[in-house]
Amino acid sequence: MARILVVEDSGTNMMLALTLLESAGHTVLQADRALLGIELARSEAPDLILMDVQMPGMDGIEATRILKGDARTSAIPVIALTAFAMKGDRERMLAAGFDSYIEKPIDYLAFLAQVAAICERAR
């Protein structure tokens, strides 16, 4: 299974992601803010990053731009986790450098299927 970094400032959303991912056999690294997520991505080289888009301080879009611009982390797939579900938001997230996009609230079966597919492609 994969080592997945979850960058999420909501404790409830973090616990949900942690529970779902660990139940599927993944190892989960946790960061509650973007800067910590960047540091963990650089030091731990996870297989996948799930990045909340709206966080205080640095948002997930800026964090993803930094990760994609760094040779140490540019190849790690980053999935946007977002409550944004407006027309054009998916395209905006992909244009910002995210490899994929998952809307909140999470549909747990679709979430786990998408994570598995991205991890498989990354291998």
H/E element holding 23? helix 11-23
Per-residue model confidence (pLDDT) at position 85: 66
pLDDT in tens, 4-52: 999 999 999 999 999 999 999 999 999 999 999 999 999 999 999 999 9
Give the domain CATH number at 117.
3.40.50.2300
DSSP, collapsed to helix, strand or coil, labels residue 17 as helix
Domain that holds residue 41: 3-122
- Number of compact structural domains in the chain: 1
pLDDT in tens, 77-88: 999 998 866 777
Q: How confident is the model at residue 94 (pLDDT cuts 50, 70, 90)?
A: confident
The better pLDDT of the pair 21, 102 is held by 21
- What DSSP designation does 101 have? E
The better pLDDT of the pair 48, 108 is held by 48
